[in-house]
Structure 1
């Protein structure tokens, strides 16, 4: 290698090849909106961060020690977000992730070149694989993958069971595990943490429960039932739908606090994320996921949205919860060991902010979603002397409002699932070019001021040049769609699969249907 790169001409050729490779990777999807910073982020920097994360996950880097390899939960989400750019890569990763699932439905927390990590299973991780596979099938139309076989992982945590199973059987096992692992409120046990790793003592006695795991499980059960129907496993599909109903009822009966949803229950049975608590009264994630999972009744939506806006929103983004913990709580764990406003102790976690942005978009609140995104965008910070991290990649968090003097400082850039969720929200929900089983769903959700915007997006062996017109400056609603000069019914474009480019005009407004 040293000999190869001693030649300056050869070095220049290799550098040019690298530039062309990145240009190809980042140019497949292009957007054009009135916000130039948003365009730059989505067109260049987000695809760059997605590829780095998808290939390297949270591996050690020059910036941070990271983990000893690739984290399962993180890399599954990274792969889902890169689907529209590289579905072939995602297909290979699905098989790799499946091989890390055990016959009992748990999965390795992560892996490296030495093999799977031997850490004890994390209860909240089992849902993310379902989301990835469901999204992959919607993106590609490839249902064959569901019946392909992959090995199960056998290690000290699970030595018995089948040697292999189909991809959809891997999904069933993961969701069966979470379904059968419930506590006294009929909610999944939290164990040593869910999405929030800092809640590592909340269920150490195997009695604590997580409302967030319950909500994410409902979404996974819904998506798994869709996949079951695709392979004509109608009996399993019905079972999964019945579980959706039962878990939804349990969450709304036991997880509602009056103005918002609880975060969970400690081993002692005491709720946290409750107005009755002195600290940690309201948590962001269980409000966002109440909407994303669809469990929330209509009469509670306004309360939940207003509670987040009132109690958690700040000039730099939404805090993970409020108020921050000031003293260690042995029934919760290290969440209360961090300085107020840092890490899991009420920082402005960017990943969680994207969940909230997703909830706003699902509710048709395009203006609010856009405002929230701007607050955490790395290239839209007002004071970089304060922010202190790169202006082209998302940080894991910004220091929260209860820190005495560092409120708004960025930290742990790169090491976050934020980029993936930001890319999906930007392209699939704000610009609204969203994958679906039957085709490309066009359903933009915009800020009021955007009267025109564009997105070019490949989908199932064709490319769609989409112009969105918003003459009345509304947030959500499609009046009509024209494809290659012909008006279509509804907002679903059937796949062309012809290798050609197709012109799409979308007019927002009240639907004629």
Structure 2
């Protein structure tokens, strides 16, 4: 049995001088921003971290609790449940006292209690009654499993005799029919095997195993005996009565669990380390092989190093340096937005995989890991129908007739080609959804645009169908008469990107045809969708205006104004920007619409039934805020872009994490809007949001102005005036560009003087070097 005892132990805490407290009262980033140390362990809501590989994902809080699962197609195989998931207990044999070192149910006065949140790992540390506990959890690159490393140390002056109880609840309890259930200790596994041997089960993953390197003294397999029928996890019956666990298997049980008891005698300053694995398997043989691999000498260390190296590789492709007062924005751009985008491009929104979600995330991720993006584009295009429309989402499949999917295809494909120079992707063959027909990626692009451009309503605008980007405007166009202003604007943006792409490959005549359609759509938007001082949201199947001054609710929507700027439909974009600031700005950010709906309207959809300020009904929906940031830069308003950025990031001084509840290291999908007088400003759902990709691109490509083009790297910054000097390290097509942007006159936009390796550049696009090299770029705004 592998049991490592180390002596002596240095238990000194981290030097506070290496931490920068830039996110309020909850904790602090480490010096490089690559991890965050949570010191307030009982914040407004649990603080999450996501750990994942391509097949398996865990969503854990600061205590290490939370669900984990595998998804095979439409079926989700769950490992740990949302509650009663992962716990440890320590028992001092001399005093008989016990406590949970990772949960601290009683909020006892632990000497140390903190969690370090890293990229792909979390580490929970506590110190109580002279015992230090350290638990690191991560998900390896391959396999449906979690890996745990536990270190228990005696920090006192006298020897200690301790029992450690490692507890893992099982989501197999939630499956239908407990008559399939059995849990037992298996000597060859040195752990517990929990099984749901169901008939006609949709997955091979019927078994949950928990194994350890420790010498198992006793075990338990059910909460009926451990917690007790009327007990609770704070004071489990089995620990309250003392002695060893009963070491009994269980059957026909809806409360199966794996609890492994081990005993240690530690001298002063000694520590013991053990390894554990909790995972899903098709049977005992697979579980045993997995445990043997994980427990091999050096495997933990090499696997964690490989994970860090993989994350570090895509992270270093773009690195920015911002002024000292904006270190939060720097840390998010260099570290945490990239991690959120990576989660999105692999797992979309985790509860499902959405076409628009993945396409937007990979459009941002392409600059970080271009080699993986072509596969993800084709993966998504397999969910496009021959008519040109796409599934909204799959796993599970959503067949509601949303119509915005095609608008995201061309930006993703064009972004990939600009980043890599690889036009060959256009010739890749990809099958259509539920069809034997296969076509090129270029054909997929064109069919998507044809679907949008050729199905117009009475006002000449794109049909709304079951909804556009705003999922909750899902009742306005089901009769295929309603028209969406935002979708029409997004179609113009994508069509013009397609025209540029077609010109590049010599299809000028086809490009001209698409350009004419885009121009006509723009004319109709100006003529039909203008409401005196802003653009409408759309027209319902009944011809009713949405987002008009004549409406009782939701008279102005954010996205239709920002995308009017992005699509260049707005004749006076500055006036639209002023309107946004006047009507839609708040302390928490920019609301999606105002005023919020206060009564349901079936001609609108579910958004009208939502609570005030919730989701798309008047919330500060940060995805829309990120659109606004990009629009601000398009019209040269760098200060407004900066103010928008500050409000989206969790460190907003008016709504910091201890108030909003947002993780200090993740952007939130939304903040409840100011019209919600009960919970306004609260962040209920972070991590899983398209905000991350748009915000990352907004900072790098629009504020700093460094973005890929077909012919090279464009430099076109739009800065807040106080950014007098910033820099970007950018890898692009095999070369490294070290870019320094000087803003001595404290401008937002200006005339650019660009020197490339000392030579003055004509224009603002740096050509791709003929050989891989390091390029020094000096930019000055005048």
Task: Give the distance between the partners of 1:201 and 1:507, measured in 2 at CA.
Answer: 51
Give the match for residue 322 of structure 1: 594
Written as runs of structure 1 = structure 2, the 5 A alignment for 1:169-184 is 169-184=443-458
Written as runs of structure 1 = structure 2, the 5 A alignment for 1:93-104 is 93-104=376-387
Displaced runs of 4 or more, over 6 A: none
Task: Give the distance between the partners of 1:497 and 1:193, measured in 2 at CA.
Answer: 46
Task: Give the distance between the partners of 2:430 and 2:313, measured in 1 at CA.
Answer: 31
**In structure 2, the residue corresponding to 1:241 is in which secondary structure?**
helix
Give the match for residue 518 of structure 2: 244
**In structure 2, the residue corresponding to 1:440 is in which secondary structure?**
strand
Give the match for residue 412 of structure 1: 685
Task: Give the distance between the partners of 1:216 and 1:398, measured in 2 at CA.
Answer: 25
Corresponding residue to 2:421 among 130, 138, 141: 141
**In structure 2, the residue corresponding to 1:435 is in which secondary structure?**
strand
Written as runs of structure 1 = structure 2, the 5 A alignment for 1:381-400 is 381=653, 382-400=655-673
Q: State the 1:8 CA deviation.
A: 6.7
Task: Give the distance between the partners of 1:478 and 1:93, measured in 2 at CA.
Answer: 39
Q: Deviations over 1:307-327 (max 9, x none)?
A: 111000011100001000110
Q: How many residues align?
A: 490
Written as runs of structure 1 = structure 2, the 5 A alignment for 1:304-453 is 304-381=576-653, 382-453=655-726
Give the match for residue 86 of structure 1: 369
Give the match for residue 158 of structure 1: none
Task: Give the distance between the partners of 2:417 and 2:296, measured in 1 at CA.
Answer: 46
**In structure 2, the residue corresponding to 1:302 is in which secondary structure?**
helix
Alignment of 1:504 onto 2:752: no
Equivalent residues of 2:341, 2:364 under 8 A apart:
yes
Instruction: Select between 9-18 and 24-33 the one with higher mean Cα deviation.
Output: 9-18
More helix by share: 1
Task: Give the distance between the partners of 2:652 and 2:580, measured in 1 at CA.
Answer: 23
Give the match for residue 51 of structure 1: 342
Corresponding residue to 2:558 among 284, 300, 315: 284
Q: State the 1:94 CA deviation.
A: 1.9
Give the match for residue 499 of structure 2: 225
TM-score by length of 1: 0.93
Equivalent residues of 1:188, 1:210 under 8 A apart:
yes
Task: Give the distance between the partners of 1:120 and 1:374, measured in 2 at CA.
Answer: 36
Give the match for residue 215 of structure 2: none
Equivalent residues of 2:401, 2:467 under 8 A apart:
no
Which one has a bigger Cα radius of gyration? 2
Task: Give the distance between the partners of 1:273 and 1:422, measured in 2 at CA.
Answer: 26
Q: Deviations over 1:352-396 (max 9, x none)?
A: 001111100111100000001101102445432321121111111
Give the match for residue 190 of structure 1: 464
Equivalent residues of 2:591, 2:621 under 8 A apart:
yes
Give the match for residue 756 of structure 2: 483
Written as runs of structure 1 = structure 2, the 5 A alignment for 1:199-278 is 199-278=473-552
Equivalent residues of 1:365, 1:445 under 8 A apart:
yes
Q: State the 1:497 CA deviation.
A: 4.5
Instruction: Select between 472-481 and 308-317 the one with higher mean Cα deviation.
Output: 472-481
Equivalent residues of 1:388, 1:409 under 8 A apart:
yes
**In structure 2, the residue corresponding to 1:412 is in which secondary structure?**
coil
**In structure 2, the residue corresponding to 1:395 is in which secondary structure?**
coil
More strand by share: 2
Equivalent residues of 2:401, 2:465 under 8 A apart:
no
Q: Deviations over 1:269-295 (max 9, x none)?
A: 110111111110000000000011111
Give the match for residue 438 of structure 2: 164
Task: Give the distance between the partners of 1:28 and 1:479, measured in 2 at CA.
Answer: 25
Q: State the 1:122 CA deviation.
A: 1.5
Equivalent residues of 2:536, 2:556 under 8 A apart:
yes
Task: Give the distance between the partners of 2:526 and 2:369, measured in 1 at CA.
Answer: 39
Task: Give the distance between the partners of 1:478 and 1:72, measured in 2 at CA.
Answer: 40
Equivalent residues of 1:478, 1:491 under 8 A apart:
no
Q: Deviations over 1:44-83 (max 9, x none)?
A: 1111111111111112xxxxxx23xx11110000110001
Q: CA RMSD in A?
A: 1.5
Corresponding residue to 2:404 among 124, 132, 144: 124
Task: Give the distance between the partners of 2:533 and 2:722, measured in 1 at CA.
Answer: 32
Structure 2 residue ranges without an equivalent (≥5): 1-289
Structure number with the bigger relative contact order (C-alpha 8 A, sep ≥ 6) is 1
